[in-house]
Amino acid sequence: MIELTDEILRKVIKKRKKDSYKGTYGRLLVIGGNAQYGGAAILATTSAVYSGAGLVSVALAKENHGALHARLPEAMTIDFDDVAHKGITTITPDDVAVAQKLGYVIKLVGDVREVESGISAEVSPTFLPKTHPLASVNDVMNAVFVESIGIGESMYYGPGAGQKPTATSVLADIIRIARRLSDGNVGKPFNEFRRDLPLANPADVKSNYYFALDTPDEKGKILHLSEIFNSEDISFEQVLQQKANGTTARIVVITHAMSKTQLQAVTEKLEAAEDFAVVNTLKVLSN
């Protein structure tokens, strides 16, 4: 076992620049779920703030906002109901096979980003390039990938909150409370900065998307499909037509970046078209 010395810590813990601001060292989103599961979100948020993450936002039920701010007033809060969330039940074996063929894996990803109009937060199954660090996170392991001005790209990786990690956090809290009682103070927040969190305009939030569509096995269908997407100023990055069964063909499209407004508009047009049935739509993290 290596003993942690001041010299080692000085190499690992970098002194922050005097002109840095909240967000310079990354933006991180913790998803807390409904009112019954606020405790785990509060523990995870505390770990994120004390580990040095820049702007930490928490999506959790309004009933738990008070408990979070009593412990960690510097955390930014978002109502869980305002976060777009989608589970993995819609993913089919065909989606997984197509992802592998095109060089992706599918992971459930919580994504938070800041754009000009505000904060965008979403949890959804996502196509990740196999070369992306998050693509290698498997089994009980979790990871947080951060892109920021101050440190570029970094990833924090470890097991989920099982018995020992949770017990360690609880014990650390007890020790901290005991120290504060002994010192006769209530302590001071790690960072007292707070600000409102306006949600972003959907037109400002852009991503690549995967579409799986069924269509009659007839000529001209890909041309018709491209006309629908072109009407919303959306271009294709990859197009794949799987082998037809004689009557129906499966067309898979990965688009270039488009806004959520465009996504909604083109999805409505596809659902209204008699020639196409939308099987699935997933977000794609581009290289």
Query: What confidence tens digit (pLDDT) does each residue in 219-255 have?
Result: 889 999 999 999 999 999 999 988 777 789 999 999 9
d(CA 149, CA 144): 16
* Mean pLDDT, rounded, of the chain: 83
d(CA 181, CA 33): 32
Length of the chain as a residue count: 287
> Strand 55-60 to strand 27-33: parallel, antiparallel, or no bridges (unpaired)?
parallel
The DSSP-derived string for 217-260 is S-TTHHHHHHHHHHTTT--EEEEEEPPP-SSEEEEEEEE--EEH
Which residue in 57, 65, 66, 80 sits closest to 193, CA to CA? 57
Find tokens 């978002």 and name the residue. 78
d(CA 157, CA 162): 15
Q: What share of the chain has pLDDT > 90, as a percent?
A: 34
d(CA 26, CA 61): 24
Kindly report the pTM of this predicted structure. Answer: 0.67
One-letter amino acid at 47 equals: S
pLDDT band (50, 70, 90) for residue 194: low
pLDDT at 129: 94
pLDDT at 161: 64
Q: Please determine, for residue 23, whether its predicted confidence score (pLDDT) is greater than 70.
A: no
Each residue's pLDDT tens digit, 34-77: 777 677 788 888 887 877 777 788 888 878 787 787 777 777 77
Q: With contact defined as beta carbons under 8 Å apart, do 58 and 78 qualify?
A: yes
pLDDT band (50, 70, 90) for residue 171: confident
Each residue's pLDDT tens digit, 107-161: 999 888 888 888 888 889 999 999 999 999 988 788 888 887 777 888 888 876 6
> Strand 84-85 to strand 248-255: parallel, antiparallel, or no bridges (unpaired)?
unpaired
pLDDT at 170: 76
pLDDT band (50, 70, 90) for residue 14: low
pLDDT at 21: 63
pLDDT band (50, 70, 90) for residue 196: low
Cα atoms in the Cβ-side hemisphere of radius 13 Å centred on 120: 17
Which residue in 198, 204, 200 sits closest to 262, CA to CA? 204
